[in-house]
Amino acid sequence: MKKSILALAVLTTLAATSGVASAQSSVTVYGIVDLGVAYKNAGAGTVTSLDSGLNSTSRFGLKGTEDLGSGWKANFNLEAGIKGDTGANDAALFARGAWVGLSSDDVGSINVGRHKSLTYIYGAAIDPFMDGLLGKTDMMFKINSVRDNSVTYTSSKFGGGFTVAAQYGFGEKAGNATANRVTSFAAAYANGPLMTNIVWDQMKDANGNTAVGGEKLMAGASYDFGKDFYGVKLHAMYEEIKGTTSLTVLKETKEDLYVIGASIKDGMNTWMLSYTDSNVKTSVNANSSRIALGYTYDLSKRTNLYASMARVENEKAAKTLADVAGANARLFNVGVRHKF
């Protein structure tokens, strides 16, 4: 059934695209197919596998825009995650995004539906691994990739490079408007070589209390030295996570994480390096750290080869990227990614 729905969506889109020029609107089919070989040794023996989405999540999407006049546009996005190694798709057809909205160059954009979270959007903008490979930030940082039932506003640029954003997710629980609610605010500055941002995000549980690890404060910055300094770009990001341990025991948990790294872009070659540290303040022997290296080679604007490796060290109560608590993890992958 899912395959039939997806095929129908493709055919409908292709048919619509052929006749929309006069209406000043467009629909685009896009996606990524990413496959590689991965090696893992993380406490339960070694395993080598053929995996999908090692550099970027394999996906299929539809996006479109219509010019409404007076500077306004209508926009939509539907995006499905797929597994290139098996052909399967996510449990929900458009699990990676399903929203519609309006935008203006002067006002900004407002989108409603299943949308990328602000922590994901602004975290990926600073990540030295560009949200990919074994060094990507959200492998250790606690970042929710999408928010259901959400309204997301992002402003236009003002004041020479500032933007602000806000996101609200409806909890949709009868008799309790706070339960399962998500509230998030962000501010960013990007001008020339400097980019910096800060995000505050809070998620409530089913009882209306702050969820486990449900309150996050994330801040980051990057600076691009450009070609005059060998294409070096520096990155740094910090996240503080707080919350309760369960729905009934309101004991606070707290974790601090940071990443520092660098990327170097030289023609078709990109190198990436980062160090990530997790410090759990309210548990004993639960800290972990990771060092990661990555490389990509552009065969064209749409196709690249990649390789990355990482080593994770866990204290005896930590299980970051490991199969069992306290085990260290050694990871390696190599593959090819194609965008269309």
Instruction: Write out pLDDT tens, residues 167-202.
Output: 999 999 999 999 999 999 999 999 999 999 999 999
Q: What is the per-residue pLDDT for 117?
A: 97
Contact 111, 117 (CB under 8 A): no
Whether the predicted pLDDT of 20 surpasses 90? no
Banded pLDDT at 8 (limits 50, 70, 90): very low
Q: What is the per-residue pLDDT for 90?
A: 86
Residue 243, token pair as written in the block? 């919350």
Contact 44, 324 (CB under 8 A): yes
Portion of the chain with pLDDT greater than 90, in percent: 82
Banded pLDDT at 4 (limits 50, 70, 90): very low
Contact 77, 62 (CB under 8 A): yes
Whether the predicted pLDDT of 84 surpasses 50? yes
State the greatest distance between any 2 C-alpha atoms of the chain, in Å, as a whole number: 64
Q: What is the per-residue pLDDT for 250?
A: 57
Calculate the average pLDDT of the chain: 91
Sign, CA dihedral 299-301-305-311, equals positive
* Cα angle 136-116-240, degrees, rounded to a multiple of 5: 55
Banded pLDDT at 9 (limits 50, 70, 90): very low
Banded pLDDT at 246 (limits 50, 70, 90): low
Q: What is the per-residue pLDDT for 190?
A: 98
Banded pLDDT at 251 (limits 50, 70, 90): low
Q: What is the per-residue pLDDT for 7?
A: 42
Instruction: Write out pLDDT tens, residues 270-295.
Output: 999 999 999 999 889 999 999 999 99
Alpha carbon distance 311, 326 (integer Å) = 13
> pTM surpassing 0.75?
yes
Residue 3: burial class (beta carbons within 10 Å; 0-12, 13-18, 19+): exposed
Q: What is the per-residue pLDDT for 248?
A: 54
Q: What is the per-residue pLDDT for 91?
A: 83
Q: What is the per-residue pLDDT for 14?
A: 43
Candidate from 37-41, 91-95, 236-240 with smallest mean pLDDT: 91-95
253-291: buried (b, 16+ CB within 10 Å) or exposed (e) per residue?
A: bebebbbebbbbbeeeebebbbebbbebeeeeebbbbbb
Instruction: Write out pLDDT tens, residues 115-128.
Output: 999 999 999 999 99
Q: What is the per-residue pLDDT for 317?
A: 96
Whether the predicted pLDDT of 31 surpasses 60? yes
Whether the predicted pLDDT of 212 surpasses 90? no
> Which CATH code fits 2-339?
2.40.160.10
Portion of the chain with pLDDT greater than 70, in percent: 91
